[in-house]
Structure 1
Amino acid sequence: MVYLDEFLLIALAHFFAVASPGPDFAIVLKQSIQQGRANALWTSFGVGLAILLHVSYCLLGVAVLLTQSPNVFMALKYLAGAYLAYIGVQALRAAKPATAQQETTSQSVAAESSWIAFRRGFLTNALNPKATLFFMSLFTLVISQSTPLIIQAGYGLYMAVATWLWFSFLSLVLSKPSVRGFFQKSGHWFDRGIGVILIALAIRIVV
């Protein structure tokens, strides 16, 4: 109860951060529409688990190093931008299927494994400088230095689970047949639209 106020402040800040549109939302949307529910849920799990990576380096004091090393942080930004741009270019190259039979065949060939889906979500969040800045701010400005590490780790575990549940909920909603059908009517145009969004996010991250 001593740390209840601190926890509520963190939970509120985290809610607005995770609910705001960004690379995580874009990749979960893409996976839900293109690959389906199971794939999107694995991607959401990857996003949630990546939160623990941010929490870990904050607890170890690496966040302080990042704030004092602009070159390291810039390298992270360029790496994240390159990764998002790579995914975006792949989406832009989506071709219009000639027939319904070819479309079905193409989708079956392009189906991703659970590991690839998980890795895609994990890397998208782990390399996101927005997430890095958010957690650095929390652990250096919001969370008191006197708060025990076990309590801080508990905050991190909560944010990881909350992130996973939020994007899993989005996956369940966005992968409904009616929702997928609506987006898939546009087929390759939807893929290209997501590609443009991902490339725009990459540029925004870098600049």
Structure 2
Amino acid sequence: MYWTEFLTVAFIHLLAVASPGPDFAVVVRESVSHGRQAGLWTALGVGTAIFVHVGYSLLGIGLIVSQSIVLFNALKWAAAAYLLYIGFKALRAKPAPVGEPTSSTVPVQRTAKGAYVAGFMTNGLNPKATLFFLSLFTVVISPHTPLPVQAGYGVYLALATALWFCLVAMLFSQRRVREGFARMGHWFDRAMGVVLVALGVKIALSEIR
């Protein structure tokens, strides 16, 4: 009975999750810089944060946030500050000392908790995600759809997001891919820093539409 609605939700989500943004940038950086395990934990962090967006959308809190300039600004500044923080950290990457191997076969140590938090914070604080899920649950999904069915959509969205970014992590953590990026050494980190800072500035300048 709800298959048409579900397929619509799934298609819209696919288009949204496949478009490069803060989540993609963070997963790629973690995967290239710290290896597959870190990339997968980051992807799981992003996927788990989806439950936060789904939760407040079902409770109607998302509508309150979208209509409150103060709350929306607080959220977007928190997101922008976090992206700027990790972006500037990446911009400060230094060249490896002369004579030190630069191969990416030995990734820099990264705790699972640190990688997970990076993914969770990046997605959970993103005001664009807030507006996306608000639109999804108020425009695309009928208000007459039973709450358990809507919650089921939310579980799918979280799992699909985690799976997508796990695939991204597995791709960018492959030895050949990582070695290719490793040839650029600290320049890759700096390039990713520029991307993250740009995304942070873009979020900071965003407005409720």
What TM-score do the two structures reach when normalised by structure 2? Answer: 0.94
Aligned to 1:126: 124
Amino acid at match of 2:17: V
Instruction: Please identify runs of 4+ aligned residues in structure 1 that moved more than 2 A.
Output: 99-104
* Equivalent residues of 2:27, 2:43 under 8 A apart: yes
Deviations 1:128-159 (A, max 9, x none): 11111110100111111111110000000000
The count of residues paired between Structure 1 and Structure 2 equals 203
Q: CA deviation at 1:63?
A: 1.2
Within 5 Å, which residues of 2 pair with 1:1-150?
2-101=1-100, 110-150=108-148
Q: C-alpha offsets along residues 168-195 of structure 1, whole Å, 9 cap, x if unaligned?
A: 0111111000000000100000000000
Using the TM superposition, give the Cα deviation of residue 99 of structure 1 relative to its aligned residue in structure 2, in angstroms. 2.8
Query: Cα distance 1:123–1:162, how it changes in 2: closer, same or farther (>3 A)?
Result: same
Residue of 184, 187, 190 corresponding to 2:188: 190
The CA deviation string for residues 23-79 of structure 1, in whole angstroms up to 9 with x for no partner, is 000000100100000110000000000001100011111012112211101110111
- Distance in 1 (CA, whole Å) between partners of 2:173 and 2:127 is 28
Consecutive unaligned residues of structure 2, counting only runs of 5 or more, are none
More helix by share: 1
Q: Equivalents in 2 of 1:126, 1:99: separation in Å?
A: 40
In the alignment, which of 193, 200, 203 is matched to residue 201 of structure 2?
203
- 1:161 is matched with which residue? 159
Q: Percent identity?
A: 51
Q: Distance in 2 between matches of 1:56 and 1:176?
A: 35
Separation in 2, partners of 1:140, 1:70 = 19
**Offset of residue 10 of structure 1:** 0.3
Give distance in 2, aligned partners of 1:12 and 1:65. 26
TM-score, normalised to structure 1's length?
0.95
Contact in 1 for aligned 2:44/2:162 (Cα 8 Å): yes
Distance 2:93 2:66 in 1: 39
| Residue identity opposite 1:80 in structure 2 | A
Structure 1: state its 5+ residue gaps. none
Gap change, CA 1:102 and 1:178, over 3 Å in 2? closer
**SS of match in other structure, 1:84:** helix
Cα distance 1:100–1:18, how it changes in 2: closer, same or farther (>3 A)? farther
RMSD (Å), alpha carbons: 1.3
